Amino acid sequence: MKDFLKTTLAVVVGTCITLTAGFFFFIAIFGAIAALGESSEPVVPANAILKVDFSNPVTELGEEDAMAALQSLNFSSTKPIGILKTVKAIENAATDPAIKFIYLNLNSMNIGMANMEEVRNALEFAKQQGKGIVSYADNYSQGAYYLASVSDKIYLNSDGSAPIVGIGSSMMFFKDLLDKLGIQVQLIRHGKFKAAAEQFIASNISKENYQQNKEMIDSIWESWAKEICSSRGITVEEFNKLVDNLELFSGESMVEHGLIDELVSKDQMAAIMCTLFGVEEDDDLQFVSLATYADAKVKPNLSAKEKVAVIYADGEITMDAQQGLTVKKFYPIIREVNRDSSIKAVVLRVNSPGGDAQAAEILNKELQLLRSNKPLIISMGEYAASGGYWISAKSEKIFADNTTLTGSIGVFSMSMNYGKGLKQHLHVNTANIGSNAHSTMMNGVDPLDAKEVAFMQGMVEDIYTKFTALVSEGRELPVEYVDEVGQGRVWTGADAFRNKLVDEIGGLTDAIQYAAACADLTDYRIEEYPKAKTQVEQILELLQGAEASVKAIANPEESIREIYSSILEEGQFKVYARHPYCYEFRY
């Protein structure tokens, strides 16, 4: 009877999922065919305003995930834009006579902190080329205002606000909860600043972790404040005093202190735009979105035979996972780039908090083989920390943004055991059987004893020694100095530059130009890896997971066994070179 019910449930659920998947698949294919039948060549008017509004998220490669593809079956222009394409579009607009001025509508901000810095630098370049920039928002977030501050004129809705309170981040600590649940976490690490998993072993932040986070946040704010104040003609001291006293909130206070030029209604803003564009009615305004302009103007130089490759090393470093920076996916990409004789130089765009130390070293070794044949330049994005720094250190040159989070030269391992919780809450007992004294260590049930902790500490120390030696060789720094600035400490790009962990402050386009110069290239095209998947390809990948979902629902016991096996596998003597957190700053 039990098997009958399970089989019946599997058939019913499987049928529903198959019918639903088939329906979406049909719509996706139909949409793709319809899109192919239309003219896909974007058109830029002879006279236009470049509208930058970030309704299209700015990401590393500009590739959306499969679920996002399903949500945009109309194949509209809401897909993400890659950071390189975004910057190139703005730089092209700087000297394009068809673009009369750039209009920043900053009501939404789908962009990370370091990418925002690169976009602002591109806008600064456009401004230096004489291209006018105007900003408007119903309300300015701090990030939106940071971008807007580059503008010639900043306007705010007359009923809007622009609260400026500084950058902050909050952390939660779970030890007290885990104690109540009967779950113990044992953390083995090297580096007094290596705060990964600290939230599981402590009830509050450590002195060292507070210090590194405070200095990191202060460094980011310092970079923002300097750029804002330079653009708006106010001293950093005066600006910080206003922020500390909570004097910058209303539109009126922002105008009073010279941070916003004028408060206007939507109708008044439309009239301003008409005056700048030289028309009478707002219906005559000719806007071109950043996405459309990028598609029209940012084209590969197909006539050039020689190439600079850009490899996007994006995500957590693992051996084999569905997403992220995996050895399974990126090892063959690096080999392909190395073997392509038309590729003369390589930029590795690192946007990774790190991960599995072994996986990082496998990728590093393959990158060194590539470097023996071609110049290898690093461009750091939002993160290039721990394992992300591991794969960056041995390169010709490292570029980072001021707000990049990098360093975190430290390693850790962790053992989580929940035997007490199983006994206390579920009345489950575990019997261990092994051939030797420590055969069942890291079983997820029992805590490590003193010998086992020492064993794991030895593994951690070995990896840390290899890490610091690698950085010492790659950066040509004494290993003692690397250990001093290491210890798991996270640095901003600005501080990493001062500490010799980064060679130059600059963005992805700076790294590409340097790579081309290293290879003596004047006429070249850019080849990006991994190749972006189409929406249809991503939808197909999503649908391929439907069968696994049916099996999981129909056989919950098997799912539980798989989850338990996965937990045991993760605990099998893994040493991590990973950034402690993925920060989400309030800005």
pLDDT of residue 228 exceeding 70: yes
The lowest-confidence range among 112-121, 190-199, 254-263, 502-511 is 190-199
Which of the four pLDDT bands, split at 50, 70 and 90, describes residue 1?
very low
The lowest-confidence range among 139-148, 267-276, 414-423, 467-476 is 414-423
The lowest-confidence range among 12-16, 398-402, 452-456 is 12-16
Which of the four pLDDT bands, split at 50, 70 and 90, describes residue 123?
very high
Rounded Cα distance, 205 and 17, in Å: 46
pLDDT of residue 553 exceeding 60: no
pTM of the model: 0.85
Rounded Cα distance, 83 and 3, in Å: 53
Q: How far apart are the first and last CA of the chain?
A: 58
- Let me know if the fold of 48-164+248-297 is the same as that of 307-578: yes
- Domain boundaries of the chain, sorted by first residue: 48-164+248-297, 307-578
The lowest-confidence range among 93-97, 228-232, 442-446 is 442-446
Higher pLDDT, 335 or 31: 335
Rounded Cα distance, 522 and 239, in Å: 44
Rounded Cα distance, 185 and 570, in Å: 14
What one-character-per-residue DSSP string does 9-73 give? HHHHHHHHHHHHHHHHHHHHHHHHHHHHHS-------SSEEEEE---SPEESS-PPPHHHHHHTT
The fold adopted by the segment(s) 48-164+248-297 is 2-enoyl-CoA Hydratase; Chain A, domain 1 (3.90.226)
Determine the residue type at 21: A
What pLDDT was estimated at residue 561?
55
CB 502 within 8 A of CB 378: no
Helix, strand or coil, per DSSP, at residue 506: coil
Structure tokens at 537: 């390809």
The lowest-confidence range among 77-81, 247-251, 392-396 is 77-81
pLDDT of residue 528 exceeding 60: yes
CATH number of the domain at 307-578, out of 3.40.30.10, 1.10.760.10, 3.40.50.300, 3.90.226.10? Answer: 3.90.226.10
Torsion of the alpha carbons at 482, 485, 490 and 494, rounded to the nearest 10 = -100
> In a 10 Å sphere around its CB, with 0-12 CB exposed, 13-18 middle and 19+ buried, how is residue 546 labelled?
middle
Higher pLDDT, 543 or 164: 164
Which of the four pLDDT bands, split at 50, 70 and 90, describes residue 195?
confident
